[in-house]
Structures are given as structure tokens and as C-alpha cells.
Amino acid sequence: MAAGAPDAVVAQSPTDSSMLVQWGQPTLNDCRFQGYELQWQSTDIGGSWATVTSCGASHAYCDSSCTVSGLPSNSEVLFRAKVHCENATLDGPWTASTPLSTLPRRAESMDGPNVSVLGAYEVAMSWSLPPSPGAVTLNDCVVQGWQAEIFDYASETWMTPSNGSCISALTNAAAAGCLAMGLSCGSSYQARVAPVCSNSDAQPAAVGNATTFTTQRGAACLIRAGRPAGVVALATSVSTIRISWEAGESNDCAFATWDVRLRVGSGSASAVAGCSGLTRETTSCLAYGLDENTSYHATVQELCSESSAASPVAESLEPATTWSVPAPSLSITLPLANSVVEIRPSEFTLMYDVDVEMPQSGGADVYPAWVICSRASEACSAACSREASDADFAIRNHRVATWPVNSSFWQQGCVYDVSLAAGAVVTRLKPEKLSEEATWSFTFQTAAAEFVQAAEAQSLGTENVSFTIAWSASVDFRCRLSNLAESKISSSQLASRGVAAMVVVGDLLPDTRYDVECQATLQDEPEVTSAWLAAGHVQTLPDLDVELAGLSLHVQPLCPTKTLPGYSMEMVPALELGRTNYTVALPNADFALNCTEEEASWRLQLLVTPRSKYATASIAWDDGTSQNDQSAALAVLTLPAEEVLVALNFTTRVTAGCQCAFGTYDVQVMGLRLRFQMSAPTVTKANGDEVSMDAVEDGHKMEVIVTYTSDALPVQLWNQLSLYVGPFQQVTIASPRPDLETQPLHQVYQLMTILSGAGKDLPLELSIAGALVGASSSQISFAPPFVTCLSTVGYGQCTAEELEQEQVYISTVGETMLYAKGGFGGHETLSSPGMIRLSVTQGENTTELCEDSGWVSFSEMWCRLAPKGASPLAMYVVGPMNETELVQVPWAIRYQPPIIDNFSEPVLQIMDGGQLYIIGQNFPDFPGEEASVGYEDAETVRRLRRAQGTGFGTSEVCTRVVRVNQTHLLCEMKQRIDLTAARCREVDLVVTWGDLRSDAQSVPMLLPGPQIYSVQDTSLGLPVEVGNGLPYHLTGINFGTSGNGKIQVMLGDRLCNITTRSDGEIYCVVDGPLRDDLASIYPETPVNDSQGAVDIVIPVPVWLTMGSSSTSSSQDCEPLAANWTSHVVHLLACKAGQFRENITNDNCTDCVPGWYTPVAGPFPTCLACTESSFANQYGSTATWLASNLGPVRRPATDT
């Protein structure tokens, strides 16, 4: 079976001599492939088929394409292909293509034309026409005309000249040349020419050669300005573009202006605002008023006085696009969208991505409307707040919009939707764009407080514990301590965020573990309360306390004949921590006085109180009888008539609540029948010198002879005797003195002690176990205490100045600690409350200022002093026992003067009352003492400050002074403040409380300085006659009234006696001339119209001084001055032959000898007169000349 035909023979990619031919592979069937045959045929010339040989003789079966060359140009060609088999009978049929034309052959490029310069503005171009020699080879080009072009170096462009015949040559195939007109004189050009083919594919592939020529200059030729270079346009805003360029050569251009234009797209360029009237040196401008988001090309041309010299137009390579004004969009909202807000919002904040402002309507801001709504839920109810308030919405820094909201609007747990209306703001850039509606949501939910520190134990007791807790917020909290048996809740207390708060819980069980839980309510959000949060645990201590809180002996005397009252006896020494042995002595004096001097009996009950309520106590005494129930079994102590001493010993056993600790206390009760006689004591110094009883000191030795006149006492009893000087128990040593025993049964001992204590007229007594068994008739006084340093800083911290002046300053506000250094006695009993103390009182007033006082050591005492009055303070050392005044401390105690820093008004209001706040430091609040406010002349204050101890008075300013706090006083001012003492323009205000006065302030108060508006002479007619009561009227402000003290008015050199005065007007009368230096200028009365006199206006100074009683301003502070120039003076004339140099005085000067014109009046110059004339006139400035004698010098005369 024969092979099939190739599929789809296709010709493509033609050139002027070749094409690419492709075909589809045929079906071979029984054909054994030998090769393909490809033929071509030109349909234009009707030729036969020709086999293509350029592709080779044979092909592979898969090689089904061939580039056929050697084809005729500009011709339509057909192709056909078939397959050849080894058996030719099986060859396949032909398959033909569709016709396709080759391209025409292009004309050759032409040589440059011949150019003949015909003058300054035109040239003739010519070229050869084919087929003449030298003509262009046209090939397949069918000529329709010739394109003659000229290159202008100024514009750097090729163009066909519009003037001349070169335009018509474009359509004239026979044209062999053309005339180019309208060129620039004296300019260089290039010329070229090319055929215009009917088929554009036949046009020359390359531009032809060019011919260079230069037009003639000519007599009137102007060289054009060079094209501007580097034109650049750069957008700077939504409506402005910066255009810059470089000027070309000016050549023959007389610069007129720059023509700067902008064009949009392919439209025409238009002049723009901002780029006119530029100088040649100005090669940039800012075009404004443009459309936003628009691309502009810039053109620049240099215009000249001669339009032909204008430069070519230069254009920017790239357009400039003005910025666009974006509509405002939100970059952030506060509260943040979809956030959970824990703190009540007090303000909403929107931040925009562009600068914005309020929209305007009629020149006024238009405030937006906004809505806040809560969503309905289980936690909250739906509610909305709609607002549109002028005062609320504000824009800050052009980007941030804020408006306040009422913090009480928020509900815990609510979701809020916020909406701000569209157009709430607009862009600052124009054209303005409106903002879109802003909506967002957030949730208000404050988190409950949490621990930042769980319970940390601070102290643990048997029944109480203390621990600290710190919270994540400021809260009102309480804590709960629980165990299986009980639960204790602490009282509510406040705690600041992050600050550990101390919690104390009492009434707990000893040796018990408690779990600690705490619950807190937010201070700022009382609706938010936490759950009970586990905070840890605490363990109370076991009860190991075996100490006693009370130990006393109840004594009931047993009298056979009557019932005597019982009483209680304290232990000796007094109950103290750690001591277990005590003694109680029962003298028989009560029996001797009330019952019998024979046998004495007492029923005794020992009262024991353990310090711990969990401890128990048991009591036993000598016979072994227990006293477990103190209300029952009682001991009885009997002192037989023949005995002087019996004793009964009590033993108390205390068992701690834990049953693991025990304590034992022994109490010896003695029944005594003792009488001791004491001789007068002897006091000596260490060197043996005897000391008077009224000036003993600590460390002096005292000896007393004591005699017992009954049966002998055991030595141990003598050793229990103690000497007491007043309340001060002395360490006593007893020594027997048998050499002094003069009678049988007498015992004599010498008791010796080293004295210690404080006070005067103190009794000397003998005691055993707290019972008085003897007394001396002598009294002892210790040397008075003394103070060497009194300080508010610390003991002995006095400055050298304080020591020298013996003076200390205390605060007027709050308490002051006073530390006294000196000598106050060294007995430890002095530390007992009230034994000895410092006392500070206010002069003769007995009000005590020392709220508390105490003894620290032999040389140190303190006083906590509260300010209560301003009069002089006195300090005393008082004690002991009966509060006897021991000594007055010579140191002076003074208050630190309060300081005035400033005032609510800088100028003192001297009229119509009002209020003035005085601002300063340490204003006291003395009970019953009101402050008084006055003023002092500031200059005087400064002068007197330099003189120590110099005082000065004050004048009242306020009717009432209210102390607002320690830094502010409110002065209710008087209706009129007398300024007599305030001679200066400023004063220092002074506040006094009794004799305490404030320090003068650093900034004095200004007095309202008078201001003169006008001064009028109110006399009738011209005030020529001076001497009797010329009235004047002054107007102004701050003249005050008589209630403000005196005011002095000086007109020139004369005091103006005030007749009427108000704050804005003064009427006064002056006697005598206003200025002494013008006295001779005033005419003598009654001459008022002397020939040659003139009326002149002279300046007269007006002096006004407030508060002054002086008649000379030099003795006062500088007064207020105002020049008054309305005073008219009748000025006398100078004598003939003189002239006046100055109209403000009466000095007349002789004219230089010569001829002068006789003119009346006090002229300030000498006017020459004509020859042969003279003046015989009083009041003229003239000299005379004798006829025919020439100039003669002669003094002027009146005749």
C-alpha cells in the first residue's frame, strides 16, 4: 500500500529571500522511507515547480522542516512536499501549502544631500534621482516622495522643516531637492534625506548619512539661548511640585523670564502658580494649587526680550505625581479592640495614621457624636451613652483624638461597643478627607487581687501570730485562720499594691496549726472580691510560760476585841521577770495602835496570777498544808508578845499549759515587832570632807547610827535593813558598833551607803522588806540638776552657737523631741514613770507643753514637746514624788519663725477689702491664739536686719486671719489699709502670734503705685499771677483715700495742699511759683502785658508719694513722677541788644556787636538790621549805627 501525503505543509518567517517550511509526517504504510521532496513555485511570474536543493537530497523521516533560501523578493510563493519510497510505486502524493510572500528588498541608505546656504534663515538641499549616477539604489522600494530632515542642535531633534518646500517633497517622487526656510541665523544644523516608499517594509534599514551646515549670521542675527538642562520635577505634597533645572548658555538672549509649565498626559502645558517672576539665577520653584494624585510633566523655556532668542523648550524626563490625601484610618484605639480592660476607662483615645483636625462649619469646629453601649448579658444590663459635647472631644498633636468618659458608667463583666460617627475628623491636608465610622468593642472586667507574697510569719506566740501578706492590687482584705476545732477571722484592713501588710490574729490555741486563707476586695472596684485564697499555714507555740502576772499578799489582822480592816501587801522587791524570791514584812504597829501591843496575829492569803491563762498555780506553806483553793485554806501568822520576829514561807508552783515546764516562787512573810532609833546622818565626800545635808551629790558617803532597844536581833536581820532617801532605796551595809552600846539590851549598828538620787527635802527612813521600821528627823536634798546642752537632734548635739547663746529652736508644727544633756541623778528608780521629768510651760501660764518626759541616764533626759502657745517658754526639772520644782533650766526655748514664701496676689490691695492667701511654711496652730498680719517698709526691714536686736513695728492689714493649714493662711483684708508707715513702693508682710513673728519673705509685696493720667490748672484765665491759691486737678488711679494714710503731691518745687481726694482724683492748691529757677520769669504783679513779653509752656514735674508725711521727697523712698507740660508762663522780654538762649530760664545773652533788626519779643537769635537804622524800643534786640561813620560797636540802650 502506497505512503500517505504529508500533513499540513506550512510556510512561515519570510525574509526578502527565504522562508521556513514545515510539514507533518505522512503515514508510510508499505513504504520503506527513502526521503522527502520539497518544491516551490512563484505565483507572480507563473513559473514551474522547482525542487528545493538548499535542504539536502535526503531527510530522515523525523526531519520534517527546511529553511528554503534563494527565493525571489517581494513575491508570492507556494510550497509542496511528498515522501519517496525505495519502491517508487509506493511514493506518496503531494501536499501543497497556502501562498506566502517574501519581503521586499529595502532601499539602500542615502548619502547626505547637497546643501546650499542661501542666507541667514534658509538653505537649498538637493539629491540625485535614480537611476542617475550617485543616486540611491531603490531595490523593491516604489518611491512616493522624499523625506528631507534637519537636525536642530538647540532642540536636539530631527524634523522636516515646516517652512519651505520640503513638506511637499514628501509626496513628490520626482523632487530632486527642496528649500528649508525659517532656520535660526548663525546656527549649525545637519541635513539628511531618505526615500518614502509605498511599502514601509522597503524603507532603508538605516538612517542615511548627514550633511552638516551653518546658516549665515547676518547683521541682525541673535543667537538663541541654550536649552535648559536637567529639568526635574519632584512632588512635595498633595498640591505642590518642586521644579528645578540648570540654565543653558544665554548667548544673545536678554533674559525676560522663565516660562515654567506643567502638563498632564498628552495635553497642553499650562503655566502654574508659584513659578512666575523668577530671575535667571533662580532655577527652581514650587508649583502649588495642583490636583492631588496627578502626574505632571514639567517644561522650562528661557524667554528673552527678543522672542527669537528664546531657548528651546526643555522637558522633564520623568513625571512627578502629587501625593494623594488618604482618608483618615485608625492605627490604634484605647482601650484596644477586643481587649479586656481591668481599669475603668476615663478617656477614649484614637490614633490616626495621618494628621487630622476638627471639621469646620461656618468657621466653628463641628464636634462629633459618639455612642457607647453595653451588651445585655447575665453579668450586666444593656445601656447606652450618647454624647456630642464641645468641651470633651479634643485632638492632640494632630494625630490623637481623645474624649473623657464617666468612669461610673462601666459595669464589671460587660462587653462594650463604641462607635464614633463618620466624619468625626478630617485630614489637615487639603482637599480634606472625612474619617470613616470607627467602631470597636472591649470588655471591662477587673481581675480579682492575687497574692504577690503569701503569708510570711513575723512573730509566733502561744495565742497570737502575726504574718505579712502582699497583694497584686490595693485592697481591703481580711484573713481567716482555721483548724478542725475553730476558725478566727482578722479584722478588715487596707493594703497598698505590692506592699506587705501586717496581719495580727489573737485568741488562738497554743501549739496548734492553723491554715491561713485571705479574701480581698479591690479598693478601686468594691464589686470585685476574690475567693478565699490559700496563703499557707502558721503554728502557734506551746505554752511554756511559767511567769507570774500578779503576786500579792492579802492580810487580815486578827484582833480579839474588834474587827480590823484587811489590806494587801506588795512583794519586796516588786514583781519582776525572772525573780523567784520575795519578802513581805508585817510590822505590829497596826496592833499597837488599834488592838493591843501584845500578841499579834494575821490571817494570810497569797494571791497568785500566772501570766498565761493556760498555766496553773499551787501554793504550800511551812506546815505542808496546801492552798490550792485560795478562797478556802488560809495561813495564820502569830507574833507572840515576847518575840520580835516570826516568819512563814510560802512556796508557789506554776505549771505551764503544755504540762512540760514548771516554775517555783518563794515568798517569806515576816511578822515584826521592831523599833529602831536613828541618829542624824553624816555625809562626806571621798576625801572625807563633810557635806551639808542640803547639797549632797551622787557618790557621797552617808553614815547613820541605828539603835535597837529591845532583845538582841540576829545579824542576818540587821543585814536586811535598807536606808531610803525619799523613794530611793540605798545599798546599805550594816556594821555592829558595840563601842557605842551604853545600856543593857541595846544593839548599836552603823549603816553606811553611797548616796544616789535626786530631789530636795527628802526624808531619811529605815525599812525592812518594804516595812518602815525607823525614821530620821533629818531631811536630805540633792544638788540641783543642771543642763549643759539642750538639742532637738540628739544628746549632746548642740552647735557652738546654741552653746554660746544657750538657746534652742523648736518647731511650730508637730511635736519636737528635746534632748537634755547634763546631770540628773544616777539612781535607777529615776527611770520609773513620773519619778523625775522635764516640764516646759508658757511663761506664767501653767499649760504643760511636754506631753511626755523621761530619764535615760545620769546625764540624759528627754521631753516630747507639743507647741501650744507663742509667749516665752520656760523649762524646769521637776520631781520626785511631790513634783517639786528642782531647777529652772537657764536655756531659752524659742519657736522657729514661720517663713512666708509667697502670696496669692503680688500687689497689696489697699482698698475695698478682699482675701489674700499667705503661702509659706510652719504656720502654727496655737490654741486660743489668732494670728495678726501687718506690713513693714521693705527697705527698713533690710536695713534693720543688719542690726542685731533691733525691732520694728507692724501695721494691721487683716481683720481676721484663718489658718488653713501649716502652709496657707487666709487674710480677710481691711476695707482701707493705712500706708503711712509704708513710704516705699514695696512692703514686707509680717504675721505674728503673740511675740512670735514670721521671717520677712524673700519676695516683698508691691504697693499699688499711683498713676497720673492728667494734671489740669483749674484757675480762671491765664495763670500769670502766682501767689495766692492756684487750684490744680489731678486724675489717675491708686491715689487711695484718707483711710490709706497720707499722700503728698509736689508740683514743681511747691507742695500742693490737698483739699479733696479719692482713689482717682485729687484737688489741691499751690502758693508760689511752681519752679524756683523760673521765679524771675514770672512778671511782677500786676504787670501782665509788658511789651515784648510772650506766653510759653514750660514742663513742670509732678511728684506723688503715697503714705509719706515728709515734705521733701528726698527723705522718702523714690516717689512717682510725671512731667506736666500744660503750665503756661508769661515770659518777660530780654533787654535791647540781648537775646535768649533758652526759654526755660531767664538768662539773657548780649548780642555780638553789629547791626540788628528792632523786633519785639524774647527771640532766641539776633537778627541783623539794615544799614543806617536803629531801634529805640524797650524789649528789642538791637544795636545802633551812626550815619556815615561805618560800623560802630556800642552797647544797646533803652533810649
pLDDT band at 981 (very low <50, low <70, confident <90, very high): low
One-character DSSP codes across 1061-1100? E-SSEEEEEE-S-S-GGGTTTSPPTT----TT-EEEEEEE
Whether pLDDT at 388 is above 70: no
What percentage of the chain exceeds 90 in pLDDT? 36
Identify the weakest region by mean pLDDT among 22-31, 202-211, 596-605. 596-605
Q: What is the per-residue pLDDT across 776-833, written as a single tens digit (0 to 9) for each? A: 999 999 999 999 999 999 998 999 999 999 999 999 888 999 999 999 999 999 998 8
Distances (CA, A) of 1189 to 1156, 1170, 1193, 1197: 17, 15, 11, 19
* Domain spanning 676-780, CATH architecture: Sandwich (2.60)
Query: Residue range 410-433: average pLDDT?
Result: 89
3-state secondary structure 1021-1043: CCCCCCCCCEEEEEEEECCCCHH
pLDDT band at 404 (very low <50, low <70, confident <90, very high): confident
- CATH H-level, domain 451-539: superfamily: Immunoglobulins (2.60.40.10)
Residue 784: what pLDDT? Answer: 93
Whether pLDDT at 948 is above 70: no
Q: What is the per-residue pLDDT across 313-366, written as a single tens digit (0 to 9) for each? A: 999 999 999 988 888 998 889 899 999 998 888 888 999 998 999 898 887 888
Element of type H or E holding 1013: strand 1011-1017
pLDDT band at 617 (very low <50, low <70, confident <90, very high): very high
Residue 1100: what pLDDT? Answer: 72
Residue 1187: what pLDDT? Answer: 29
Which class does domain 330-444 fall in? Answer: mainly beta
Identify the weakest region by mean pLDDT among 228-237, 580-589, 650-659, 1118-1127. 1118-1127
Query: One fold for both 114-214 and 229-321?
Result: yes
Query: Residue range 897-907: average pLDDT?
Result: 86
CATH 2.60.40 fits 548-672, yes or no: yes
Strand partners, 1102: 1051, 1122
Bigger pLDDT: 753 vs 1058: 753
Measured between its terminal Cα atoms, the distance across the chain in Å is 173
Which class does domain 229-321 fall in? Answer: mainly beta
Bigger pLDDT: 120 vs 1087: 120
What does pLDDT average to over the chain? 83
DSSP letter at 169? G
Which class does domain 114-214 fall in? Answer: mainly beta
Q: Which of 832, 835, 829, 827 is nearest to 882 (CA)?
A: 835
Residue 477: what pLDDT? Answer: 95
Residue 1046: what pLDDT? Answer: 78
pLDDT band at 244 (very low <50, low <70, confident <90, very high): very high
Which class does domain 7-101 fall in? Answer: mainly beta
pLDDT band at 54 (very low <50, low <70, confident <90, very high): confident
One-character DSSP codes across 1048-1066? EEEETTEE-EEEEE-SSEE
Query: Residue range 754-758: average pLDDT?
Result: 94
Residue 466: what pLDDT? Answer: 95
Q: What CATH code would you report for 786-895?
A: 2.60.40
Domain 899-1006 maps to which CATH number in 3.40.50.300, 2.40.50.100, 3.30.590.20, 2.60.40.10?
2.60.40.10
Q: What is the per-residue pLDDT across 832-889, written as a single tens digit (0 to 9) for each? A: 888 999 999 987 677 889 999 999 999 999 999 999 887 788 999 998 866 788 899 9
- CATH H-level, domain 1011-1131: superfamily: Immunoglobulins (2.60.40.10)
Residue 1078: what pLDDT? Answer: 61
Looking at the whole model, is its pTM more than 0.85? Answer: no
Bigger pLDDT: 424 vs 1159: 424
φ, ψ of residue 1039 to 5 degrees: the values are -80, -20
Whether pLDDT at 1184 is above 50: no
Q: What is the per-residue pLDDT across 87-129, written as a single tens digit (0 to 9) for each? A: 988 999 998 888 988 999 998 988 899 999 988 889 999 998 8
Which sequence spans correspond to the domains of the chain? 7-101, 114-214, 229-321, 330-444, 451-539, 548-672, 676-780, 786-895, 899-1006, 1011-1131, 1134-1199
Whether pLDDT at 453 is above 90: yes
Q: What are the grid coordinates assigned to 1113, written together? A: 521727697
| 1022 and 1128 Cβ atoms separated by less than 8 Å | yes
Amino acid identity, position 86: E
Residue 528: what pLDDT? Answer: 92
Q: How far apart are CA 368 and CA 356, in angstroms?
A: 13
Q: What is the per-residue pLDDT across 1146-1163, written as a single tens digit (0 to 9) for each? A: 567 777 776 665 544 544
Q: What is the per-residue pLDDT across 907-945, written as a single tens digit (0 to 9) for each? A: 888 777 888 888 888 889 888 788 888 877 655 444 444
Q: What are the grid coordinates assigned to 13, written together? A: 518567517
Q: What is the per-residue pLDDT across 705-717, written as a single tens digit (0 to 9) for each? A: 999 887 677 787 8
| 110 and 207 Cβ atoms separated by less than 8 Å | no
What percentage of the chain exceeds 70 in pLDDT? 84
Residue 1032: what pLDDT? Answer: 82
Q: What is the per-residue pLDDT across 556-576, written as a single tens digit (0 to 9) for each? A: 888 888 888 888 888 888 888
Q: How far apart are CA 208 and CA 196, in angstroms?
A: 13
Report the relative pairing of strands 314-315 and 330-334 from DSSP bridges. unpaired
φ, ψ of residue 739 to 5 degrees: the values are -65, -15
Residue with cell 516568819: 647
Bigger pLDDT: 588 vs 152: 152
Distances (CA, A) of 886 to 77, 786, 807: 150, 10, 20
pLDDT band at 1099 (very low <50, low <70, confident <90, very high): low
Dihedral angle, C-alpha 3, 7, 11, 12, nearest 10 °? -140
